[in-house]
Amino acid sequence: MATEVLPDDRVLRAGRRERALAQMENHDLDVLVLGRQANVRYVSGAPQLWVAGTRPFGPTCVVVRETGAIHLLSTWDEGVPDDIPHENLYGITWNPMNTISVLKRIEGAATAKHVGSDALSPGFAQLLPMAFPNAELVDGELAMRAARRIKTPEEVAALREAIRVAEVGLAAAVAEMRPGVSEKTLAGVLLEAMAAGGVSTPSTQDAAWVTSRDHPWRRANDDGRVQPGDLVAFSAGVLDGGYTGEVGRTWPVGEPDGAADLYRRWDALWHRLYEACQPGAPGTDLLSAYQAAGEQLPPMPISRGLGLGFDPPVVSQHLPAIAAEERLEAGMVLAVTGYVWQPGVGAVFGREAVLITADGPEILTSSPSANVAVGA
Amino acid sequence: MTSITSFLAAPTSALDIPDTPDLDRMRRETGARLRSAMADRGVDVLLLLGNNSVVYATGVSWPLGDAGLSHVERPVAVVLADDPHPHLFLPFREGAASESGLPADHLHGPVYLEFDEGVEHFARVIEDLVPAGAVLAVDELTGAMRRAQPRLFRAGPPADAAQIVGAAKVIKTPDELACIRTACRITDEAMVDVQAALAPGIRQIELSAGFMRRAFELGAMASMLEPIWQVMPPSKADGVWTTHGDLALPLLTTERELVAGDVLWTDVSITYAGYCSDFGRTWVVGQEPTPRQQAQFAKWREILDAVLDVTKAGATAADLGRAATKANGGARPWLPHFYLGHGIGVNAAEMPMIGTDLGDEFDENFVFEPGMVVVLEPVVWEDGTGGYRSEEMVVITEEGWIPLTDYPYHPYGAR
């Protein structure tokens, strides 16, 4: 982090914008209206205020394919790259009719035939036709998803840095783990360390929890304090330069009975997951890794792309057709989750960032794991 | 119904706000408000995707994450007009903390509405839950939902659920007020330590780090925005370029090292049980404010007092705006891209908003009612002082208002 708010690096920006424009062409979109922060950052390269949770849809950034012009909702120019001139900035409005007036004036709006948006609300479904009177309004998220799917080398470098900050946070929280400490204090330590490392924008704030001995994934129903014999899960995630860096680990408090066996099971599962991360492999191979290891599939996606926000492939037991269709490709970066549970013991959760290369998987995370500590 | 279904009246004094929120009662009362707002608009079913709307409609809360990941792993709520309990579709972890209040047959596994396959699965669930002719409202449509509209919305295009949730949540129940007040107390206590650490040489980002640590230790569920410690420019002309030529706010935090005399406009927000705090104070780094700076604070105080004088049930947003403008000598004491004040609840800023580009007619027509919460944040500026901005939160009552914040103005004000 610098002492000034700076736009994203020029090469990083240019690589992304080129991909977005190419996908607009592939999807036959004349104009993209973007409201999702990740997409806005992807095409504009301008840092924006981070706010927790999803936001209602609103036109925050408009891309015109023919001219390549980017129009951005920003009341000031700090952090805005110089290829977005002042006349393309529009200030914060609360009145959607004023937003529509801005969009109407954009060169190319009146003649656009296909306008994609990355989400929509019933309100803007009614209003956008006023700004794009000759256009069919269609989904634009598929085009953005296709653009974001494969990372440029500059994006991989940005992800490595984001993961490094997440690992600093995780290490700080693990160091504070002791009987009596609360889950929230561990989260506070983790978030403090990531901020001290330069990033005050977490991607997750659900940072530490005692895993349940009674249920495969519900919370341990107590006062949120760590006790001897607990298995404590740590999930660190940052948004660094817009990029999501994530790492997950589980550490035991003391030497819980049965923990060594559970860590060995996690290791065996992870070995199979790692082997499934091959270029050309279907997403199904990741699901099969759980089955082959004899482990129950957890309720969360066991793999999703890391980048700005979420990226394909999202591999979940709830999306079997997608898992079968998806192929891993070189240049994807995945957050892959291993999760094993034993009644009476708890869960071991581990999340690794994996870069798919032409030669196979490269693990980008390097946080120590507890396996050695428990003799697994 | 049984006698445990007690409903609390709108508060008339701070004593009427419970010390500890009763989350089950809160869920019942907000649920009743929501279904009443549905009935007013003839809507039978709400499909809610937005994190804040789901928190409001279900009473379930979790540490909100970044929007990007939240699009794929997020709780979804389905509210039926004739069912006191919402249906809730939960991903791993999110909402797990407080899921126990809902009947088991209303708790479902995760749905993935970003994908055609996920929407196809969800459409089958909806077909079972929702009668074919029912009128639906939705707050967000993903691309996959847009492709499946005829299937999802069999009775025609959906209405806007944001309007319905907005109408319900504008008046807070006493338990919601208790949540907001608890969030404010956590924030204030954390800020005491942050302010104590303020000294020349400290970096903006270190203030953020200290705040996050302390707020979570004290029981915060999540930070709602990246903490802001904006160093104000010597003059408007020295500030960053803006579309309107006035001040920029909020500018992002960096590793900038603070120096003696820097004037900071601060802004942080956290949640407790899903409800937001809002904190804003002006600080001076490493020295006492000058007499000119104290005069800025005095002017701000005069404006705030003038606004509070007219703040009560029955007043309009325009009444508050006029009082502020008059006390400021005829100029609006707030930034053109913001407001004199805003509501707060499950969102850090929600309706009502006073003095925005929604226009005078909106402000004239917005009438305050007991139980509404407003954050007042007038702005005073004179080149060479760094100006003054603080935020004060009040609950509207029949007779006036109840303060929810009492953080000192140090280093400004009486010494």
pLDDT digits (tens, 9 = 90+) for A170-212: 999 999 999 999 999 999 999 999 999 889 899 999 999 999 9
Note the pLDDT tens digit of each residue in A71-83. Answer: 999 999 999 999 9
Predicted confidence at residue B143, as pLDDT, reads 98
A13, A21 Cβ separation under 8 angstroms:
no
The span from the CA of A270 to the CA of B369, in Å, is: 57
pLDDT band at B4 (very low <50, low <70, confident <90, very high): very low
Contact A37 B68 (CB under 8 A): yes
Interface check B157 vs A, CB under 8 A: yes
Note the pLDDT tens digit of each residue in A321-360. Answer: 999 999 999 999 999 999 999 999 999 999 999 999 999 9
Which tokens is A342 given? 């034993």
**For residue B292, how many other CB atoms are within 10 A of its CB?**
11
Q: Residue A28, by phi and psi: left (phi above 0), alpha (psi -120 to 50) or beta?
A: left
Residue of chain B whose alpha carbon sits nearest to that of A233: B93
Average pLDDT over residues B147-154: 94
Predicted confidence at residue A221, as pLDDT, reads 63
Asked whether residue B1 carries a pLDDT value surpassing 90, the answer given is no
| B212 closest CA partner among A48, A235, A193 | A193
**For residue B199, how many other CB atoms are within 10 A of its CB?**
10
Predicted confidence at residue B7, as pLDDT, reads 65
Average pLDDT over residues A303-313: 93
Q: Which residues contact A200 (CB under 8 A, 6 or more apart)?
A: A50, A194, B205, B208, B209, B212, B226, B227, B253
The span from the CA of B398 to the CA of B323, in Å, is: 19
- C-alpha distances (whole Å) from A159 to each of A26, A306, A332, B126 are 27, 8, 11, 38
Mean pLDDT, chain B, whole residue set: 94
Average pLDDT over residues B263-267: 98
Distance from CA of A122 to the nearest CA of B (A): 5
B349, B360 Cβ separation under 8 angstroms:
no
Asked whether residue B131 carries a pLDDT value surpassing 80, the answer given is yes
Which tokens is A198 given? 């330069």
User: Taking every pair of C-alpha atoms in chain B, what is the biggest distance, in angstroms?
Assistant: 69
**For residue A173, how many other CB atoms are within 10 A of its CB?**
27
Predicted confidence at residue B96, as pLDDT, reads 56
| B378 closest CA partner among B304, B298, B319 | B304
Predicted confidence at residue A33, as pLDDT, reads 98
pLDDT band at B269 (very low <50, low <70, confident <90, very high): very high
Interface check B226 vs A, CB under 8 A: yes
Nearest to A2 among B74, B111, B255 (CB): B255
Q: Which residues of chain A neighbour B109 with C-beta distances below 8 Å?
A: 299, 318
Strand A114-117 with A136-139, pairing:
parallel
Virtual torsion, Cα B57, B41, B111, B222, nearest 10 deg? -30
Predicted confidence at residue B246, as pLDDT, reads 97
Q: Treating both helix axes as pointing N-terminal to C-terminal, what angle do B317-327 and B291-310 enclose, rounded to 10 degrees?
A: 150
Contact B118 A318 (CB under 8 A): yes
What percentage of chain A reaches a pLDDT higher than 70? 98
Virtual torsion, Cα A222, A227, A228, A234, nearest 10 deg? 100
**For residue B318, how many other CB atoms are within 10 A of its CB?**
18
A162, A133 Cβ separation under 8 angstroms:
no
Single-letter amino acid, residue B301: R
Q: Which residues of chain B neighbour A139 with C-beta distances below 8 Å?
A: 143-144, 146-147
Predicted confidence at residue B10, as pLDDT, reads 79
3-state helix, strand, coil in chain A (%, to 5): 35, 25, 40
The span from the CA of A265 to the CA of B195, in Å, is: 48
B142, B70 Cβ separation under 8 angstroms:
no
Asked whether residue B84 carries a pLDDT value surpassing 70, the answer given is yes
Predicted confidence at residue B6, as pLDDT, reads 56
The span from the CA of B369 to the CA of A71, in Å, is: 39
| B264 closest CA partner among B241, B247, B248, B280 | B280
Note the pLDDT tens digit of each residue in A220-250. Answer: 766 789 999 999 999 999 999 999 999 999 9
Distance from CA of B414 to the nearest CA of A (A): 34
Predicted confidence at residue B303, as pLDDT, reads 98
pTM of the model: 0.96
A326, A312 Cβ separation under 8 angstroms:
yes
Q: Which residues of chain B neighbour A55 with C-beta distances below 8 Å?
A: 50, 67
Q: Residue A68, by phi and psi: left (phi above 0), alpha (psi -120 to 50) or beta?
A: left
Predicted confidence at residue A219, as pLDDT, reads 75
Interface check B277 vs A, CB under 8 A: no
Predicted confidence at residue B3, as pLDDT, reads 37
Q: Which residues of chain A neighbour B70 with C-beta distances below 8 Å?
A: 53-54
The span from the CA of A101 to the CA of A95, in Å, is: 10
Note the pLDDT tens digit of each residue in B180-225. Answer: 999 999 999 999 999 999 999 999 999 999 999 999 999 999 999 9
B118, B112 Cβ separation under 8 angstroms:
yes
Q: Which residues of chain B neighbour A196 with C-beta distances below 8 Å?
A: 205-206, 209
Asked whether residue A215 carries a pLDDT value surpassing 90, the answer given is no
B315, B305 Cβ separation under 8 angstroms:
no
Nearest to A203 among B69, B109, B226 (CB): B69
Note the pLDDT tens digit of each residue in B238-257. Answer: 999 999 999 999 999 999 99
Note the pLDDT tens digit of each residue in A38-62. Answer: 999 999 999 999 999 999 999 999 9
Assign A304 to helix, strand or coil: strand
Interface check B242 vs A, CB under 8 A: yes
CB pairs under 8 A between A and B: 274
Asked whether residue B93 carries a pLDDT value surpassing 70, the answer given is no
| HEC-encoded secondary structure of B278-345 | CECCEEECCCCCCHHHHHHHHHHHHHHHHHHHHCCCCCEHHHHHHHHHHHCCCCCCCCCCCCCEEECC
Asked whether residue A374 carries a pLDDT value surpassing 80, the answer given is no
Which tokens is B384 given? 């060479």
Note the pLDDT tens digit of each residue in A7-16. Answer: 999 999 999 9
Average pLDDT over residues B164-191: 97
Average pLDDT over residues A146-162: 97
B355, B317 Cβ separation under 8 angstroms:
yes
Contact B143 A123 (CB under 8 A): no
User: In DSSP terms, which residues pair with B393 in a beta bridge?
Assistant: B375
B53, B136, B164, B216: which to substitute to probe chain A, counting the most A Cβ within 10 Å?
A: B216
B245, A228 Cβ separation under 8 angstroms:
no
Q: Which residues of chain B neighbour A118 with C-beta distances below 8 Å?
A: 143
Asked whether residue B137 carries a pLDDT value surpassing 80, the answer given is yes
Predicted confidence at residue B278, as pLDDT, reads 98
Residue A307 dihedral angles phi and psi, to the nearest 5°: 180, -130
Bigger pLDDT: A290 vs B101: A290
Mean pLDDT, chain A, whole residue set: 95
A26, A154 Cβ separation under 8 angstroms:
no
Q: Which residues contact B7 (CB under 8 A, 6 or more apart)?
A: B25, B28, B29
Contact A304 B225 (CB under 8 A): no
Contact A217 B72 (CB under 8 A): no
Interface check B400 vs A, CB under 8 A: no
Interface check B244 vs A, CB under 8 A: yes
Asked whether residue A25 carries a pLDDT value surpassing 90, the answer given is yes
Assign A5 to helix, strand or coil: coil
Strand order of the β-sheet with B228-231 is: B228-231, B263-267, B282-284
The span from the CA of B273 to the CA of B183, in Å, is: 8
